[in-house]
């Protein structure tokens, strides 16, 4: 089996360890983070190595790296480490769940994290370092640019262009043939019906508490 080092020691790194170990051709050999962030010598029963020393202990000729980080600082941290790993000469494989429906002829970049129950329709293009959490629909002829994070159960209609370093929250809906500029935040439950300018923030309306308490409801 191919050897893999995971960058990160948090929940997403733990998930990456689970998914790569159970649904890929890789064997996870170690974790890595910057030396200043090392708190324990092991994570998930495997060694944690300083990223500054990674090429000595796990050289790129023997191991690949997967950067398992969140959307922190609008994906800038994950982008930084993705580029740093490439600079060191590592290959950065993508994880694509065997429970995802992929119909775009593998048009997916490096270091993507595609969870179960995603539906990727024909002619979709997905860039590098993109996370698609579980249960999304990415419609035909859409483009998702590099370093973007799409949370669960998002509906992206056909012909949509999503820029770099965007965050799209749970249950958001994007109508067909619109463009979302770079570094946009589309909040949970938002409905986007027109183009979104770069660095825009679009927040859906939250449900407010009713005036009637639950103890007065007759049907429940």
Instruction: Report the distance separating Cα 55 and Cα 186, nearest Å.
Output: 38
What tens digit of pLDDT does each residue of 101-144 get? 999 999 999 999 999 999 999 999 999 999 999 999 999 999 99
Same domain, 80 and 101: no
| Residue 33: predicted pLDDT | 98
pTM of the model: 0.95
Structural domains counted in the chain: 2
Same domain, 21 and 113: no
Residue 55: both structure tokens together: 């090429």
Cβ within 8 Å of residue 93, ≥6 positions away: 4, 26, 64, 66, 110, 111
Domain extent for 32: 2-87
What tens digit of pLDDT does each residue of 52-108 get? 999 999 999 999 999 999 999 999 999 999 999 999 999 999 999 999 999 999 999
* Whole-number percent of the chain with pLDDT over 90: 96
| Residue 218: predicted pLDDT | 85
Q: Average of pLDDT values for 9-19? A: 98
Q: State the CATH number of the domain containing residue 62.
A: 3.40.50.20
Domain end position, chosen among 87, 115, 145: 87
Instruction: Report the distance separating Cα 213 and Cα 208, nearest Å.
Output: 13
Same domain, 109 and 131: yes
| Residue 40: predicted pLDDT | 94
**Domain presence at residue 153:** yes
| Residue 77: predicted pLDDT | 98
Among the listed residues 94, 113, 4, 95, the one whose alpha carbon sits nearest the alpha carbon of residue 49:
4
Same domain, 110 and 201: yes
What tens digit of pLDDT does each residue of 164-186 get? 999 999 999 999 999 999 999 99
Instruction: Out of 6-10, 28-32, 205-209, pick the least confident.
Output: 205-209
* 204 pLDDT above the threshold of 90: no
Model confidence at 205, in pLDDT bands (50, 70, 90)? confident
Model confidence at 43, in pLDDT bands (50, 70, 90)? very high
Provide the mean pLDDT of the chain. Answer: 97
| Residue 1: predicted pLDDT | 84
Among the listed residues 93, 102, 163, the one whose alpha carbon sits nearest the alpha carbon of residue 137:
102
Same domain, 159 and 56: no
Q: State the CATH number of the domain containing residue 171.
A: 2.160.10.10
**Domain presence at residue 214:** no
| Residue 219: predicted pLDDT | 80
**Domain presence at residue 211:** no
Same domain, 103 and 34: no
């Amino acid at each position: 089996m191919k050897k893999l080092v995971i960058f990160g020691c948090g929940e997403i790194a733990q998930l990456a360890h689970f998914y790569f170990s159970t649904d890929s051709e890789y064997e996870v050999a170690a974790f890595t983070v910057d030396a200043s962030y090392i708190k324990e010598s092991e994570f998930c029963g495997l060694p944690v190595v300083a990223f500054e020393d990674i090429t000595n202990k796990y050289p790129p000729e023997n191991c690949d790296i997967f950067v398992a980080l969140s959307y922190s600082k609008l994906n800038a941290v994950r982008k930084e480490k993705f580029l740093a790993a490439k600079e060191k000469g590592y290959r950065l494989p993508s994880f694509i769940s065997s429970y995802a429906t992929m119909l775009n002829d593998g048009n997916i970049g490096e270091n993507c994290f595609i969870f179960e129950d995603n539906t990727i329709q024909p002619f979709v293009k997905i860039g590098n370092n993109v996370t698609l959490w579980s249960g999304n629909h990415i419609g035909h002829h859409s483009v998702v640019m590099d370093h973007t994070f799409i949370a669960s159960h998002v509906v992206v209609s056909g012909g949509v262009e999503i820029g770099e370093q965007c965050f799209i929250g749970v249950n958001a809906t994007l109508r067909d043939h619109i463009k979302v500029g770079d570094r946009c935040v589309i909040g949970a439950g938002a409905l986007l019906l027109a183009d979104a300018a770069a660095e825009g923030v679009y927040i859906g309306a939250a449900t407010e508490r009713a005036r009637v308490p639950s103890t007065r409801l007759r049907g429940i």
